Structure 1
């Protein structure tokens, strides 16, 4: 990184009132790279020429600075997925929400401090579909004196699950938008950038994890796929789940991990067999039947001393519609809720909200068939502004957004029953305003407006507790009686079940503008997004910091 930045960092430490000043400095060159995947050679957009991108390593309480230099023809932003960004929303990354994009030939330094977080998170591009190849892990070690609340593993391994398209993905998006539909499904899934052998390319190989008998390995599993919820498993082995979304959970054993786009899961693999090779798989989960032929990714767990000629023990790939398997995994997740790591679930609620989720069809003068697919919260499809929402909020710029996002559906109906006749959505840049430190209960309700679907919903800026879920329509009279307010799992991304609902609670203790959206890019691109604006509290420690001088302009 440039010497001026290092000097600035050193000076900041010297004049800091903190006892200890810990700085992590990285440089990301966003660049075009030629690569071969699934026997297809093509240029892709990467960070530092790597796919997946470089891993960020930090400790809790570290200050992280990442200089991002845009060397490609597209606008770029980077989101630090799951980092709470306390008062530092300018570093959060979603384009036109907390910043204008980094334009070709320009750069921006993301500057944030990791507060009260430890575990596995990740980073990715947050504009268009660039995150298909622009993504990587963010590993946060606990601070000194706070060991893992489970036996320490002998080794730790990042496992990134993703998707691969043989064609140019930006061209696919452009073509789909002209037609008014979502882009085509990917051609293969990947594990750490490799698919393993596929039907049309048996020479592809695959990722191989070498293990020593008797040792324990913590797998830091990240679902970086654009559009698919995934099952992950290793033949012949159970995994012990110890953490999700950088929050500890009560450990439990499973032979199959279920993980939605945006989520992370830490699982302990015990190499408790003497020898052999064992298949690792990543395969899709789809509650509703969808005609997609994307190929499962395969890799290998290879015990030391095993001859390469030994046959690999195969894993049974779960059926795509294995809903009971996915449900059982989700139901097993509980917060650790210990003295060191309590589950601070809001019990008194200031805002009780119900957001419906679904797909609609809107007129489109520029589309081939005159209509296009739309997606919504509470029948509002998000329209990105021309300047960043956080900038407009901080400087009180009028005309950029309104704060009248509906807290409940404008026209209630049987959301999981008969499809309504009107499939149109409203469009706008409407935010929901929250007072600092207010508490929120939000019901996320899937609908059958076109078809029921699973939706992984990600909230920026704040974690939340998943206090309840169910199928059908949420019943405000009966369902809250079954809420878990003692040890619900704490997350930043939650899967809303097809034809069902989830209930989350959070405290709005982070001032700024915070995006909430579906983490299926096929839904985000057509409007399944909104944002909360959290007002400042009392004094500078409860207020958004001023924008940095190198903040990109629109």
Structure 2
């Protein structure tokens, strides 16, 4: 088993943007290396507005973690920023080892300023593209990076071998300190203002309204094949992505191989990853790669398009790139048809072990609300809830409280279904919009190795909206989805129980529902939340307490000695 040693240092780096340039990313070297990440305050030209941001090793986006299936990875995080910090390794299952999962006050207390914590974990049974990000406040606006897990030595991809690989991390940018933006919104009782730009690998591209532009670019050679590892690190936007003049073959989502299919655009929600193969077989020229939001609800969005450049070798930089035909921002039809094409590979080597028998049926409604707020300028505050319960964060790590049997920290009485059924997606609902805030977090207890089916139902409380949900500690199978109210008598008959997509983050469609299944074979306390940071901060989250199994290798590992204290 290999071991990788990495150190993360957090600080504020000043980013200045306003000069033109492009970068050709070198091909990934599959030979794994050891990394030492050092803190630095670095002047980096990225966007027009100079401001200090929290970064890892002075980089934006942060460094890529390279590992191989079967490796052990140690990442030391030292926090020199003014904010408390925790890092989540998004999509890594962390079997029995929730202590390194990362969400603040769920599996750990945050790393305080001047303190360190070593995330020590094994990469078992996973390969592909994942990512890491801050999991406290809105700090993942700038604290994020890619995770690339190569297959075991001698194991080939189940698709044509690419000649080179590139990482494309899609993000959002605020010209001001994002934490101050959030505080201002909370003071008013309103959502924080929208982001000022979208980015591709930290750069907005020449369509960004700035006197000078910065653009990420890759150089390709005629006839070669390229694997693009695409990550949506945006805080609040689902994104369409396309490459002008080129089709993409989808081969993986959320580090799980899929049945390949060709498409001229992809849809990727916050938290999701998608790997696509691109054949450089078009006329040698320069082509824009572009990303912009998808929103099919009557809500405002930052509709700015981020661009990067795919440039054939030998083509001069003064050739004007062509733009791709992205779907319209409200193209529901494309979104639904694209997601319907996703299927697990389900080969003998990579089977789709879908639970066919269900031990526990859960039904969670997703709602928005408006509660009184005497300290808010508007007198009210927007909230979000599951089964009408707004999650309240504890003051100590929930996993720690569970492991040491600390009383009074949380309860395990989260309801399996909403207290009062109603027409969830009917006419806009304006009555009884208040949500319940308990004094302690309410969690759901799950028996070890039991099979769970969870139906997530969007509602028209205030407004229907798409919600990308992420489950920590597990992958799950997306066995069904639909528009309108879930029908427990008719809809399960339409489930795909053969080759449904296996994911860690799934979008619940606007005014619709999604059904997922998983086997609860990873003991611990595992967070589940909407990956729209706005809704998470309003309370659209919960957690599962998965009990220990009977065997010694089916119980939670002891906490590490350097686990941060609250």
TM class, shorter-chain normalised?
over 0.9
Task: Please state if 1:247 is matched with 2:247.
Answer: no
Find the residue that maps to 1:312 and give its secondary structure: coil
Match of 1:114 in 2: 123
Write out per-residue CA displacement over residues 311-339 of structure 1, whole angstroms, 9 at most, x where no aligned residue. Answer: 21222232110111111110100000000
Match of 2:265 in 1: 256
Match of 1:472 in 2: 484
Match of 1:157 in 2: 166
Instruction: Trace 1:104-503 onto structure 2 (pairs within 5 A).
Output: 104-198=113-207, 200-418=209-427, 419-428=429-438, 429-503=441-515
Task: Please state if 1:22 is matched with 2:2.
Answer: yes
Q: In 1, distance between residues paired with 2:279 and 2:184?
A: 47
TM-superposed CA distance for 1:161, in Å, is 0.2
TM-superposed CA distance for 1:145, in Å, is 3.1
Aligned partners of 1:224 and 1:261 also within 8 Å: yes
Aligned partners of 2:268 and 2:274 also within 8 Å: yes
Aligned partners of 2:198 and 2:304 also within 8 Å: yes
Q: In 2, distance between residues paired with 1:354 and 1:439?
A: 14
Q: In 2, distance between residues paired with 1:532 and 1:277?
A: 48
Write out per-residue CA displacement over residues 49-86 of structure 1, whole angstroms, 9 at most, x where no aligned residue. Answer: 00000000000111111000000110000000000000
Instruction: Trace 1:509-528 onto structure 2 (pairs within 5 A).
Output: 509-528=521-540
Q: In 2, distance between residues paired with 1:402 and 1:434?
A: 13
4+ runs deviating over 6 angstroms? none
Find the residue that maps to 1:525 and give its secondary structure: helix
Higher deviation after alignment, 414-423 or 26-35? 414-423
Q: In 2, distance between residues paired with 1:230 and 1:47?
A: 25
From 34, 43, 50, the counterpart of 2:14: 34
Q: In 2, distance between residues paired with 1:374 and 1:390?
A: 25
Find the residue that maps to 2:117 and give its secondary structure: strand
Q: In 2, distance between residues paired with 1:156 and 1:73?
A: 36
Match of 1:16 in 2: none
RMSD: 0.9
TM-superposed CA distance for 1:220, in Å, is 0.3
Q: In 2, distance between residues paired with 1:293 and 1:286?
A: 10
Aligned partners of 1:77 and 1:93 also within 8 Å: yes
TM-superposed CA distance for 1:212, in Å, is 0.4
TM-superposed CA distance for 1:203, in Å, is 1.4
Aligned partners of 1:38 and 1:198 also within 8 Å: no
Q: May I ask how many residue pairs the two structures share in their alignment?
A: 534
Q: In 2, distance between residues paired with 1:474 and 1:541?
A: 38
Aligned partners of 1:446 and 1:498 also within 8 Å: yes
Write out per-residue CA displacement over residues 451-497 of structure 1, whole angstroms, 9 at most, x where no aligned residue. Answer: 00010000000100000000000000000010000000000000000
TM-superposed CA distance for 1:274, in Å, is 3.8
Write out per-residue CA displacement over residues 268-302 of structure 1, whole angstroms, 9 at most, x where no aligned residue. Answer: 01101241000110010001132334411011100
Q: Which runs of 5+ in 2 are unaligned?
A: 17-45
Higher deviation after alignment, 321-330 or 122-131? 321-330
Match of 1:536 in 2: 548
Aligned partners of 2:15 and 2:47 also within 8 Å: no
TM-score by length of 2: 0.93
TM-superposed CA distance for 1:167, in Å, is 1.1
Q: In 1, distance between residues paired with 2:335 and 2:434?
A: 32
Aligned partners of 1:185 and 1:294 also within 8 Å: no
Q: In 1, distance between residues paired with 2:302 and 2:418?
A: 36
From 67, 82, 86, the counterpart of 2:95: 86
Q: In 1, distance between residues paired with 2:337 and 2:252?
A: 16
Aligned partners of 1:444 and 1:496 also within 8 Å: yes
Aligned partners of 2:414 and 2:443 also within 8 Å: yes
